[in-house]
Amino acid sequence: MALRRNVGVAVDFSPCSREALKWASENLVGKGDQLILINVQPSSDYEQGVVQLWQATGSPLIPLMEFSDSNITKNYGIKPDAETLSLLNTLSKQNGIEVMAKIYWGDAGLKICKAVADVPLNCLVVGSRGLTGVKRALLGSVSRYVVNHAVCPVTVVKDSQSGH
């Protein structure tokens, strides 16, 4: 019997992160694995309540059923898009994959790497917007940071819409 793996996918509900999620679902996640969505919200969006409670450690693991409930996700300050939720529900029902989400607040690169150790993750998939040259130098690159600092294998999936 194969060991269950915790496969992480960094999601920000952009087309780029949906590409990473699709890639992971088609190429990496297998029956019995647990798919862990890692979402990082900017720290400037802190509100009272739930966010402050989980500021240091990130949220507890949130089961897909709760992650699909807008009343629950609103408490965490996130709004998953319909396409991402549809993809996750299909993956869960058809492939028997357990889907969980963990939300952090703060610097995306740092918090994604923290999730690798916290959960812990066996591997991680991140999207890349394919920024080049000056844009990358000015904005930095979360995917580059994660590749260089995460303590597990990382796969970077390029956004097919970016044209690079």
- How confident is the model over 116-157, as pLDDT tens digits? 999 999 999 998 876 666 555 554 588 889 999 999 999 999
At 9 the pLDDT is 96
CA 99 to chain centre: 11
Domain made up of 6-158: CATH architecture: 3-Layer(aba) Sandwich (3.40)
> Which amino acid, 156?
V
Cα within 13 Å of Cα(8), Cβ side: 30
Contacts of 117 (CB under 8 A, 6+ apart): 151
> What are the tens digits of pLDDT across the range 78-100?
899 999 999 999 999 988 899 99
Please, are residues 17 and 83 in contact by the beta-carbon 8 Å criterion? Answer: no
Residue 12 has pLDDT above 50, yes or no: yes
Residue 33 has pLDDT above 80, yes or no: yes
> What are the tens digits of pLDDT across the range 57-70?
899 999 999 999 99
At 164 the pLDDT is 43
**1 or 25: which carries more pLDDT confidence?**
25
> What are the tens digits of pLDDT across the range 36-56?
999 998 875 555 556 677 777
At 55 the pLDDT is 77
The tokens 């900017």 sit on which residue? 42
Secondary structure (3-state) at 34 = strand
User: What is the residue extent of each domain of the chain?
Assistant: 6-158
| For helices 108-118 and 142-149, angle between their N-to-C axes, nearest 10 degrees | 40
Please, are residues 101 and 37 in contact by the beta-carbon 8 Å criterion? Answer: yes
Strand order across the 154-158 sheet: 62-63, 98-105, 34-41, 6-10, 123-128, 154-158
Residue 112 has pLDDT above 80, yes or no: yes
Please, are residues 68 and 80 in contact by the beta-carbon 8 Å criterion? Answer: yes
Residue 21 has pLDDT above 90, yes or no: yes
Please, are residues 125 and 26 in contact by the beta-carbon 8 Å criterion? Answer: no
Secondary structure (3-state) at 149 = helix
pTM of the model: 0.87
Mean pLDDT of 101-108: 92
